[in-house]
Amino acid sequence: MGSMHDPVANADPRYRADPPADDTVARILAGLDGEARYDAIAAVNREIAAWTTNGVLDCWRASPATPPHIAAALEDFVHAARVLPDWADPARIGAAEAVFVEMSMLSCTLLFCASLPECYVPVDLASVLHTAGQLEQHTDYRVRSTAAMIFPVMLRGGLTAPDGGGVAQVLKVRLIHATIRHLIMRGNPAEVMAGGETEATLAERAPDGPGLHRALYARGWNVPQHGLPINQEELAYTLLTFHYVFLRSLRRLGLGLTAAEEGAYLHGWNVVGHLLGIGEPLLVRDMDAAERLFAQLQARGRDAANSGALPYGAPDPRPALANALMRAMQDEIPLRLLKPFPTLLTRFLCGRTNARELGLMGPVAIVSHLLFVALMGAVRGIDFLVRLLVPGFSISRLVSRVLGYRLTVKLLMDQTRPLKLPEALLNGVGETVQGWHHDRKAPAWMNRLELRLRPAGASPTSRKAP
């Protein structure tokens, strides 16, 4: 293996990021400093806001007011990055979309209580999330920005139809990642690595002033110790939390899918991974491979945390991030006795080791804990027995849907703080959530019970364009 600072010779995914996106941002910011740098970033943000649907990306051109070098860089990136891989299977993508829509509000419960908490386990990844906006103080930002990508890519036609928005949203995220890397690294990551710059050298450069982009620029980064920020390994790990952790959680709740459905769901998200710039060696094809890769990446992240080698020498950011997420969910649960349930469900879905590292193993009211354990045991036992006579019967599915509906309505579909999506996509999300009022797998009486258990007056509505 070559030198650590040789991005070609080094095969370690921690030292590889996303060259096409990084080169695009480097072209845009080349030779700029101070306010000119942030003006260019603002121009990019204005342009990508126009990427409303996949069809818009076909033959897309920047607006005449955009500086020519920025327009050329963005146009080249869109032309190359919008294309699905030749191995993408529209039928399997459609099956993945069907799984997401079928699971509906349960998908949101697992996002809050499994996928996002698992995202915080690798300490380097948690540190980047912490740096990019002090997210423990703005939990809804992380939740809503994640949902703003998941919904468009998983709604019907999100990746394959011209009026879908998945490809457009993913390319936006990809450029945002590249901008964060460029600011933290003070340049194109590949060039910084080649020069061997470390945190000590970068720290000598003063920040330009207040603000998120300036805060990122002020931080610096120790590449030899932590790899690149938002590197291939971290991107692959995050993708695993969206598909593998979701599927694993369904299994743990006794709601596992068929092998074909699981394979289709992995395939759909692998297409998303390709669009995000993740290399094919890190895209898993089945649950066994996903389990091995997930364990490997978590173990590496755990080693980094246990070594005390935290970026910036800061305290471990993971407990603050995880507990802020738990508080956001608890705030939406009216009964005091049930408020610990999100934390207890997260412990169950993520495991005690991860929950401990996330600071989620603190004391819980004994009555709430006993009630949760009794309910989980009774629910799984009753579900197994009754489903032998009544197909589709599932108390755990009912409870997860009710919790997911409350979290979806309160945290994602609040009309005073709509998701940052183009109007047409936002309307599509609202209409999809409205359609989640009926669980077609459940008996009619369970659907009636679910409606009674939902919060009064909490009904998401699609936003009508003026």
| Residue-level pLDDT at 466 | 35
Per-residue pLDDT, 135 = 47
- In this prediction, residue 385 carries a pLDDT of 63
Helix then strand then coil, % of the chain, to nearest 5: 65, 0, 35
Rounded alpha-carbon distances, angstroms, from residue 96 to 143, 149, 163, 267, 272: 22, 15, 18, 8, 12
Instruction: Please check whether residues 393 and 343 belong to one and the same domain.
Output: yes
Residues 387, 277 share a domain: no
Farthest CA pair distance, the chain: 70
- Split into its structural domains, the chain has a count of 2
User: 122 is written with which tokens?
Assistant: 């690798």
Residue 35 lies in a domain: yes
Q: What is the pLDDT of residue 162?
A: 95
What would the pLDDT profile of 104-151 be if each residue is shown by its tens digit?
667 778 888 999 999 888 876 666 666 554 444 566 666 777 777 888
pLDDT at position 219, please?
62
76 and 39 share one domain: yes
pLDDT of 293: 95
Range(s) of the domain holding residue 421: 338-453
Instruction: Quote the CA–CA distance of 383 and 317 in Å, as a whole number.
Output: 39
Give the C-alpha separation, 319 to 322, whole Å.
5
Helices (H) and strands (E) in the chain, counts: 24, 0
Q: Is residue 8 part of a domain?
A: no
pLDDT of 3 reads 34
CA distances from 141 to 169, 316, 321, 365, 418 (A): 16, 20, 12, 29, 11
Both 278 and 397 in one domain: the answer is no
Whether residue 424 sits in one domain with residue 283: no
Residue in the structure block whose two tokens are 């011209």? 162
Using the 3D structure, point to which of 258, 291, 319 is the last residue of a domain. 319
Whether 436 and 302 map to the same domain: the answer is no
Smallest CA-to-CA distance from 338 within 382, 299, 368, 359 is with 368
Are both 360 and 307 inside the same structural domain? no
* Same-domain check for residues 134 and 257: yes
pLDDT at 286: 96
Low-confidence stretches of the chain (pLDDT beneath 70): 1-10, 104-105, 124-142, 193-220, 304-314, 378-443, 445-447, 449-466
